[in-house]
Structure 1
Amino acid sequence: MQNNDGDTRLLTKIASMYYIEELTQSQISKKMNLERSMISRLLKKARSLGIVEISVHQEHSGLIDLEARLESIFNLKEVIIVPETYNSLDSTNNKLNIGKAAARYLDRIIKDGDIVGLALGTTMLSIANALNDTKNVKSIFVPLVGGSDNNKIEYQVNIIASKFAESFGAEAQYISAPVVTTDKRTKEYLIQDASFTKVKSLWSQLDIAIVGIGAPIQSSNLIWTGAFGNKDIDLLNSKKAVGDILSRFYDIEGNIIYSELDERIISLDLSLLKDIDFVIGVAESVEKAPSILGALRGKFINVLITSESTARKILELNDSN
C-alpha cells in the first residue's frame, strides 16, 4: 500500500471478496497472502473511509424503537411487535399474525431437552395452527392448566399440546382435570391422581412457558365467560382484578390476587413463572393493554408478542399510572 490508489484498490478488492463474494476472512487471508488480523483491520478501514457503506433497511423502524422501549422499561428478554397493515379492529387477522410471530419465535429458541408449558384458548390455538416447517426437537409439551367448559374441542389444552408436539416431532403430556372445580374437595381429589402428579412434576422443570393474557371484559376469555359464576366475578371485581394468566388473577400493579377461588383452580401458580427461563406472553388488543401491563409489572412474563396499537397503549397506560 504505497499510494492512495493502491490502498483504495486493495481495500475495495478485499471488501468485495468479503461482502459480495462472501468469502471468510480466513479464505481472503490465504488468497491475498495476508495475515487474518490484517484482513480484519482492512475491512474496518474500508468502512471508515466510506468504501463500504452498510445500511439496514428497516421498513418498520418505528416498531423497533417501540420494542426497545418496552424491553428497557420492563426488563424483558425480547419484545416482538407485529405491524398492523390491516384494519386494527379485525381481531381474526390480528390473532393470526400474532400466532405466526409466536410460532416463529418458539421455533427459534426451542432446543432438545426443553420442557415447554402451554396455556389454553384461542390465542394458543392460533400459535399451534401457525407451526409450519418447524425443526424436530426432543422436547416435552405439557399443559399448565386444566381444561375449560368451552364446547369447542380445538381450544382444549390437551388438543393444543398435541398439536405443538406433533409439529415439533416431540412428546406431549396431558392433564385430566378441569381448570375450575366445583369445590375444594374435588380439586384435592383430582390433584392426587397419578396422571396429574406426573404433569405437576414437569411444572418444576419448565424451560419455556407460552401463555395468553386474559382480560375480564373480553367475551373471548374462555374462563370468565364459562367456568366462573356471577359470585366469582363479583369477588374478582371487588379485588380489582385486571387480568389473568392460567386463570390466576392479578391487579394493575402486578400483585397476585389470592382468594378462595385458588382452592378450586387447577393450574400453575403465577409465582412459579418467575423461575422459568422463557415465559412468552402472547396477547393483543387495546382492551387488553391493562391486563398486559399488570402482567409486565408483576414480571409474570419476560417475552412479549403483541400488536403495535397494543404496545402503544401499554406505554401510555404505564406513563399515566
Structure 2
Amino acid sequence: MVPVEKRILIKAANMYYMDHMKQSEIAKRMGVDRTTVSKYLKKALEYGIVTINVESDSYEELEAALERRFGLREAYIVSKSYDMQVIKRNMAHAGLNLLRRIVSDGQVIGLAWGTSIRELTRCARRERLPKLDADFVPIDGGPERIDSDHHVNTLCYELANAFGARSHYIYAPAITRTAEIREAIVHDVNYEKISNFWKQLDIAIVGIGAPVKSSNLVWSGDFGREAIESMTRTGAVGEICSIFYDINGKPVKTPFTDRTIAVPLEKLSTLPYSIGMAASREKVPAIMGALRGHLINVLITDEDTAKILLNE
C-alpha cells in the first residue's frame, strides 16, 4: 500500500466508526476503491488512531476465570444478596435465559427437584417461550413428604408446559424404605420408560445439596438431621439427585446407596449440558466436588460463591 497521510486515515476512521458509513460510501466520497478503504481502516487500528474496547464487567471476568479453572462449558454469575430467595430468583432467570439459547427440537431434558429448580419453573410460567418439540423427564425420584408444588413431577410438567413440550412422570420416591422396594421399582414398566429417557439425555438441570442441617433432604423429610450430619463421616461433601459424593466428585457409599432412585452420576458427566444451580458459602465444598468430578459442565451461582470457589 502506498504511504498515506495520517489525516486520511483519521478521516476514513471517522466516517466509518463515528458516522457509521459503509465502506462503499466512504470509497465513493474519497475517490478510492473499497479495498483501499478497508486497508485505511486496518492501518488506523495498527497505528493506534482507532482503539476498540470491549465492555466487560466483573461478572464476565469471574465467569471466564471459573470456566478456565474448572474446564466449564459455561459459568453464569448473578448478583450477590443477603436474601437467598433473591439469589435463587436471579439464578432462575439466568437458567431460563440459558435454556432459551440451548434447547432445540428432539432433545430430552432432565430435571431434578429442589428449591432452586422450583424458582426456575415459576420463572418459566411467567414467560412467553418458543414452542418446543422435546421431552422433559425427572432424573430422580420424588420426595414423598413435601407439597406437590415441589415434587419433581410437578416441576417437570411446569417447565415442559411453559415450552409447549411433553412431560413424563416417575412413580417412585427418591429414597425407598428398603433395598427390596427399590429392586421391585427398577423392574416396573414406569421405571423402564424413564430410565430409557435417561440414556437419551441431552440436558440435565440439577441442584447441588450439602450435608448440612438446611439440606433439602432434611426439609423434605427424607433424612433426619442426625442422618445428614453422619454423612460427613463417609467423606461426603455434597449430593446431586440424592446421591452423595466426595470432594473429587466420586460417589460415596452411604446407608441410602442401595435405596436411591436416580440417574447415575457418571451419566451427568457425559452430557452436552449438565447444569448445576447452587449458591452459598456452606455449599462451596459440594459445588467444588461437582466441578472436580465433572458432574456439571455449566454452573449458575452468585458472585460471592464464585469468588470463594476461585480462592479455594
* Residue 196 (structure 2) aligns with: 201
What are the Cα deviations for residues 168-196 of structure 1, in whole angstroms up to 9, with x where unaligned? 12111111111111111211222222222
The answer to whether 1:65 aligns with 2:61 is yes
Contact residue 146 and residue 221 of structure 2 kept, 8 A: no
Count residues with an aligned counterpart.
Answer: 307
TM-score by length of 2: 0.88
- Tell me which of 143, 158, 165 is aligned to 2:138: 143
The answer to whether 1:12 aligns with 2:7 is no
Q: 1:36 to 1:103 in 2, by over 3 A?
A: farther
What are the Cα deviations for residues 59-105 of structure 1, in whole angstroms up to 9, with x where unaligned? xx333232222211211111111122xxx331111111111111111
The answer to whether 1:110 aligns with 2:86 is no
* Residue 93 (structure 1) aligns with: 86
Identity of aligned pairs, percent?
A: 38
Q: 1:179 to 1:28 in 2, by over 3 A?
A: farther
- The one-letter code sitting in structure 2 at the alignment partner of 1:258 is K
Unaligned runs of 5+ in 2: none
What are the Cα deviations for residues 242-289 of structure 1, in whole angstroms up to 9, with x where unaligned? 110000101123221134522211000111111101111100111111
Q: In structure 1, what is the Cα distance between the partners aligned to 2:308 and 2:236?
A: 19
Q: 1:189 to 1:35 in 2, by over 3 A?
A: farther
Q: Residue 209 of structure 1 aligns to a residue in which SS?
A: strand
- The one-letter code sitting in structure 2 at the alignment partner of 1:274 is S
Q: In structure 2, what is the Cα distance between the partners aligned to 1:182 and 1:230?
A: 17
- Tell me which of 148, 153, 157 is aligned to 2:152: 157
- 1:21-60 matches, within 5 Å, as 40-58=38-56
Q: 1:254 to 1:212 in 2, by over 3 A?
A: same
Contact residue 99 and residue 127 of structure 1 kept, 8 A: yes
Q: In structure 1, what is the Cα distance between the partners aligned to 2:146 and 2:28?
A: 68
Once the 2 structures are TM-superposed, how far is the Cα of residue 7 of structure 1 from its aligned partner? Answer: 4.2
Q: In structure 2, what is the Cα distance between the partners aligned to 1:34 and 1:162?
A: 62
Q: In structure 2, what is the Cα distance between the partners aligned to 1:306 and 1:34?
A: 53
- The one-letter code sitting in structure 2 at the alignment partner of 1:109 is I
Stretch deviating more after TM superposition (135-144 or 39-48): 39-48
- 1:228-247 matches, within 5 Å, as 228-229=223-224, 232-233=227-228, 236-247=231-242
Contact residue 219 and residue 225 of structure 1 kept, 8 A: no
- Tell me which of 211, 218, 226 is aligned to 1:216: 211
- Tell me which of 308, 311, 315 is aligned to 2:306: 311
Q: In structure 1, what is the Cα distance between the partners aligned to 2:77 and 2:5?
A: 50
Superposition RMSD on alpha carbons, in Å?
A: 2.6
Q: In structure 1, what is the Cα distance between the partners aligned to 2:210 and 2:224?
A: 16
Q: Residue 95 of structure 1 aligns to a residue in which SS?
A: helix
Q: Residue 261 of structure 2 aligns to a residue in which SS?
A: coil
What are the Cα deviations for residues 96-138 of structure 1, in whole angstroms up to 9, with x where unaligned? 1111111111111112222111110111011111222333222
* Residue 267 (structure 1) aligns with: 262
Q: 1:250 to 1:53 in 2, by over 3 A?
A: same
Q: In structure 1, what is the Cα distance between the partners aligned to 2:185 and 2:33?
A: 69
Q: 1:243 to 1:9 in 2, by over 3 A?
A: same
Q: In structure 2, what is the Cα distance between the partners aligned to 1:15 and 1:161?
A: 48
Q: 1:181 to 1:263 in 2, by over 3 A?
A: same
Unaligned runs of 5+ in 1: none
Once the 2 structures are TM-superposed, how far is the Cα of residue 38 of structure 1 from its aligned partner? Answer: 5.1
Contact residue 114 and residue 207 of structure 2 kept, 8 A: yes
